Every structure is written in C-alpha cells, then in structure tokens.
A and B are shown apart, each in its own frame.
Chain A
Amino acid sequence: MSHHIVAVKHLQHVYADGTVALQDVNFTIHHGESVAIIGANGAGKSTLLLHLNGYLIPTAGEIRIGDFPLTKKTLPEIRRTVGMVFQDPDDQLFMPTVFDDVAFGPFNLGLPVDEVKQRVRDVLEQVGAAHLQEKPPYHLSGGEKKRVAIATVLSMSPDILVMDEPTSGLDPFARRQLIGLLKDFQHTRIFTSHDLDMVLELCQRTIILHQGVVKADGPTREIFGNEALLAECRLEKPLSMQGCPVCGKGK
C-alpha cells in the first residue's frame, strides 16, 4: 500500500542565519508503524517535524506523504492527513472553549455543523475528556490540556499522528494515562521524545538524529542496547533498562 507512507529523501534545511539544521535525512515510515525520533537538543528533531506538515520548506530534498509530494498545492490535503500535536498545549488550545478548539479543524475542512458536533463528541470520548467540552482551556490541568490537544488533531481524522514531546511536563499519573491512550491508536505514529521509557513502551522502531543526519534507524530494543552509540549521541539507556538502583542487578 502506498498510502500513508512517509518518505523523506535527502532532506536538507538551512535556516536564514546559515545554521544547518538538517544535512541529509533519509527514512521511510510505513502505514501503522510507531516510530520514535530521538536525539540531543539541537539535533534537528523539531525542524524535521515541522517539515512533515509543510510548515517548513526543505532547502533541498523531497518529502512524500502517501501519494502526494509536499508542495503548496497539496498542503491542505497533507495537513488533513498529518495531524501534529505540539509540545506546549497552550499554543494549540487557542479557542474560548474545548469544544471550539476540537471543532476548529473540522470546521476548516468544511464539514456541516451537526457532523462537527458529532465528531467532537466522539473524539473527546476517545481521549477521556468528554466532560470537559464546555470548559475554557485555562481551567484545565496539564494532563487534561494534553489530551484535549490530541483531540483537536484527532477530530480531523488524520492517518498519521505526529507528536512533539508528548509526555513532557506531565505528572506520573497523567503520563501513564497518556501512554495508555497512545497505545490504543491505530494511526501511524511518529513521536519525538526525551522520555526513553515511553519510547520503549510505545515504539517498535527508533530513529536517532545526530547533528542533522540519521545516525541510527532500527528496532528500539536493539538501539537502546548499543551503549556506545547512545553515548555518542548524548543519550542514555532508558531507566527501565539501567538495572536495579537498589541491588545493582542488571547493570
């Protein structure tokens, strides 16, 4: 199936001030895969993500989402297909109520009011936030905001879900709730994260970005077992793989 494939070929991005954020990035992600993109700060993760829905334009190279190459014409369709959730939910929840935020996307797609209302209800139910429908965003807790932010994207029925640091800033309970939610999704999932334990739980495949290139791309377990590689990329093993802190077993 060629649909919902994310294909990135020789992607390069140079910022206006001359910084080379991405040098030569290559990978292909297939339908239904759950992939994590990890790396040190400044490795280019956020820049890469912003290319996936066309917010940034490559200086060189090509991106294909499904059957569509990323061009100005195909942008609306690509933005429907790729749902992006940003790191700070306050940037994403800009409407007066949760309903308005979740309905924002569907309305922009031109759907009729009744269908929009139904979609909002369904999606809020899915993320466990149905009771928050009429609340304004500044009355929500951090975990609630994150879930509603996901809902705002889900309501557009994307095929690919991209999330930038999904668990950052969440308390353990909210984090556990979120991981549980993400486990159930059938979409193609692409995450960036520093939370390597979450990556271990949710993603079968991991891509390491280091200084603008793909340093490693393979099964998560394998990559996390390679300590030298991790160290070179300013990373560590996830805590759950680091052995018992009490008796030292497994170190």
Chain B
Amino acid sequence: MRSIDGAVLDLKRLDLLATGDSSIHRLDARAKVLTTFVFIVSVVSFNRYEFTALFPFFIYPVVIASLANLPGGYIIRKISMVIPFAFVVGMLNPLFDRALFFHLGPFAVTGGWISCASIIIRTVLTVGAAVILVAVTGFLSVCQALERLGTPRTFTVQLLFLYRYIFVLTEEGARASRARELRSCGRKGLGLASFGSLIGHLLIRTWLRAERIHMAMLARGFTGEFHSRQVSGFGWRELFYVAGWSALFVALRLENGAQWLGGLVTGLLS
C-alpha cells in the first residue's frame, strides 16, 4: 500500500510534467489518447507465447519520452515499480504450462516461462504508455479529449472534480492518520473501531465540504450546466501522428520486427 504523501507527490509531479512545452505537448490531446490506445491494443493482441516480437514496441515510449523531454530516471522508476506485480501475475504460468520449448544450456525453457516473460514485457509497455500519456497530456486535457471523443459530460465533470479534490482530501487524510499515529505510542496498526471513527470523521468533514462547495456554486449562479471554452483543434499534424504510429504498430504486430532484424544480423555474421 503506498503512503498517502508519496502518492500525492507523485500525482503532483506527473501533473507538473504535463505543463511542459514540446512538440508532443502541443499536439491535440485526442491524437495522443488515440495513439496510446492503438499501441496498447497492439501489444495486448499478441498471443501468449510471443516474447521477442514485443521488443520493437519500445520505440514508441522511448521516442515520445525523449521528444517531450521527460525525466528518464523518473519514468523508468515509475514503470519498474509495476514489474514485481507483473511477475506475480505471470508466475503461475510456469507451474501449469510445462510444454518444453527448447533447452538453453542446462535450463529447460518451458512455455510457462516464455508466457510469464511475455506478461512482464506487456505490462512494462502498457504501463509505460499510460504514464507517458499522462505526462505529456495532463489530466485536464485527457478529460477534455475524452469528452470530445464522446464521453458524457456528467462523467468528465466528475473526473475533474475528483482529481481536483484528491489533493485536498489526501492531505486531510494524511493529517488525520498522522495525528493518530503520534498518539498510538509505537503500537502499530489501526484497530477496526478506531479505523471506523477515523474514516467516519473524515467522511463527515467531506460531506460538509461538499455542502460548502455547493453553496459556492449556487452563489455564482450555478443552475446545473457546466460550460467550457474551446480548446485546440485536430489538424494535419495530429492526423500524421496517429496514422504514422498506428501504421508502425500494425506492421510490428504482423511481422516480428526483432526476428527480422536478428535474422538479418545473424545472417550477415554467419
């Protein structure tokens, strides 16, 4: 379980990255959302034993991260946090899938290990794509893009409200949690009763806050509709971006790029 403070800092950091200025940042959000979607679908559509074919897909996150000047260390660290979970997800495969594929020296590589490795690579790729999307687009723009792609306004308003108040609520939660910790004299762990009252208090304060926000909304003439100003448009750049990357992903999906390149090299060397 991540700590509250850590999580909020993370959110803030990603949010700040999105305010950067680069050719990627300036693209319309819809292009970036669509391309990420095609990327993820391509990666995930491989059958379970494909491993090497996934590697060429790294070109997308790497190129985007570089063009957008994202801090490499931070991105890599964020993605690598997911690897243990991916391993847990995939590790049962070697237990059940004993089909022998080949021997690598003394080590018998079964289908299970290959599919497990495949799962880990998939996870790294899809998580990387998601993180980078948020880092170059910003949550507000993603929500606006979603709305223009057809999401109901009630839902996008909810997303934006939620996001805006996560910072406030996590701070309140952290304060309450810390205060309790300081009074527990080293005894670790929160019993059910104290948890109920801590969360209960937080809930009450949250409910009252909602009332005050509603007051503020009414005070400024709210009648139920949210209005928005126009945002950037979808132009040739965006079309080129989406079409170009999608074509590459489809090509890499149909042909194992790694095999082709490797075959070329080993053929040259032999």
Q: A: which residues have CB within 8 A of B? A: 50, 53, 55, 76, 79-80, 83-84, 86, 88, 90-92, 94-97, 99-100, 103-105, 107-109, 113, 116-117, 136-139, 152-153, 156
- Which of the residues A55, A88, A116, A138 comes within 8 Å of B219, measured between beta carbons? A55
Q: How far is the CA of A53 from the CA of B15 in the complex (A)?
A: 36
Q: Knowing that A103-B229, A138-B167 are A-B contacts, what are 8 other residue pairs whose CB atoms are under 8 Å apart, sorted by A's residue number?
A: A86-B212, A90-B168, A94-B161, A95-B160, A96-B143, A100-B228, A117-B229, A156-B220
Majority-rule SS of A interface residues: helix
Q: How far is the CA of A99 from the CA of B16 in the complex (A)?
A: 17
Across the interface, do A88 and B212 meet the contact criterion of CB distance under 8 Å?
yes
Q: How far is the CB of B137 from chain A (nearest CB, A)?
A: 13
Q: Which residues of A contact B221 (CB under 8 A)?
A: 76, 79-80, 105, 108-109, 156
- Which of A80, A97, A138, A139 has its CB near the most chain B CB atoms (within 10 A)? A138
- Which of the residues B16, B220, B229 comes within 8 Å of A153, measured between beta carbons? B220
Given contacts A79-B221, A96-B140, A137-B164, contact A107 B216 (CB under 8 A): no
Q: Which residues of B contact A84 (CB under 8 A)?
A: 216, 219
Q: How far is the CB of A185 from chain B (nearest CB, A)?
A: 18
Is B103 part of the binding interface, using a Cβ–Cβ cutoff of 8 Å?
no
Q: How far is the CA of A11 from the CA of B12 in the complex (A)?
A: 47
Majority-rule SS of B interface residues: helix
Is B76 part of the binding interface, using a Cβ–Cβ cutoff of 8 Å?
no
Q: How far is the CB of B17 from chain A (nearest CB, A)?
A: 13
- Which of B161, B212, B221 has its CB near the most chain A CB atoms (within 10 A)? B221
Is B89 part of the binding interface, using a Cβ–Cβ cutoff of 8 Å?
no
- Which of the residues B140, B212, B213 comes within 8 Å of A136, measured between beta carbons? B140
Q: How far is the CB of B192 from chain A (nearest CB, A)?
A: 30
